[in-house]
Amino acid sequence: MQAVQSYLQVRRACGFELKTQGKLLRSFATYSDAMGKSHVCADTAIEWAGSARLVERRARRLGEVIRFARYARAEDPRHEVPPPVFGSGRQTRRVPYILSPDEVRGLIRAASQSGRETLRRYTYSTLFALLACTGIRVSEAIGLRYEDITSDGLLIRCSKFRKSRIVPLHESAQAGLERYLERRVTYAPFDDHVFISTVGKPLIINDVEIAFRAAATKIGLRCSPGMSRPTPHSLRHTFAVRALEACPDERDHITKHMLALSTYLGHAKVANTYWYLQATPELMSGIAERCERFVMGDQP
């Protein structure tokens, strides 16, 4: 357990949160101590990881022990590094659900007509519109405060990966946000959160998901078997894909466009932005066309 705590402290000092990983490693340490093992034992680790019901979870649990064991073995060779008998544990990300322009407009319209004519209508129609036109995360949107709306755009403070950034706003988005704030101010004048519920409290993600599902059901959004379902985060995915579809053709322009989009979205790695290239047939056909031109000897 002491070695686990040391490992977690070092990685957290590097900026990692390790909430789930910490729980798993402490569970493994407790299990190992109960088995009388003072160092990482490969058989014990495999037995502990194998107690999970799903193979994917077994692979993830064992993967965390393997990373910890490599760290611990650097100082004490008595620690064993278990073999990855359950696989790599890396999950393949599904292609995101991408909404059409008509579906985005339909969602916003459905939210603006939901329930009684209260602040709730304006809250969720404005929120969904803001997510669609900026691509910010849901957590970032509901965490916005009055002082985060600046002349340069939205100030996103220390969100995922502890990064802060400025997200520019189109003048139409700025105007829509200002109209909402004029209605919202009388509901909770002493709370500086931008988006609030009808009882004057800051929104929580569960509230947003419920409102989104209601609007999605109203306009008839469907999810095909084996495909991702539409969620509030789909608005962010849609923004990213449309931005990639608007990318210029030249190689230098593509590189700069991808890097700029990755920074804009607040991704930790540009590889997370490249994932969107598989999201629509238009993007995939564009990739295939450029690959064919490259193989035939033309400049891509």
Rounded CA-CA distance 89/242 in Å is 31
State the catalytic residue, choosing from 58, 61, 193, 233.
233
Residues 74-97: b if buried by 16+ CB within 10 A, e if exposed: eeeeebbbbeeebeebeeeeeebb
Rounded CA-CA distance 279/262 in Å is 16
Residue labelled with tokens 């194998």: 50
Residue 155 burial (C-beta neighbours within 10 Å; 0-12, 13-18, 19+): middle
Q: Is 124 a catalytic residue?
A: no
Please check whether residue 241 is in contact with residue 98, taking contact to mean a CB–CB distance below 8 angstroms.
yes
State the catalytic residue, choosing from 61, 137, 184, 237.
137
User: Which residue blocks in the chain are alpha helix, DSSP H?
Assistant: 2-13, 19-34, 42-49, 55-73, 101-112, 119-134, 138-142, 171-184, 205-219, 234-245, 251-265, 271-274, 281-295
Q: Is 233 a catalytic residue?
A: yes
State the catalytic residue, choosing from 160, 170, 229, 251.
160
Q: Is 276 a catalytic residue?
A: yes
**Count of residues for the chain?**
300
Q: Is 160 a catalytic residue?
A: yes
State the catalytic residue, choosing from 61, 120, 236, 237.
236
Q: Is 218 a catalytic residue?
A: no
Q: Is 193 a catalytic residue?
A: no
Rounded CA-CA distance 238/230 in Å is 11
Rounded CA-CA distance 63/86 in Å is 9
Catalytic center residues: 137, 160, 233, 236, 267, 276
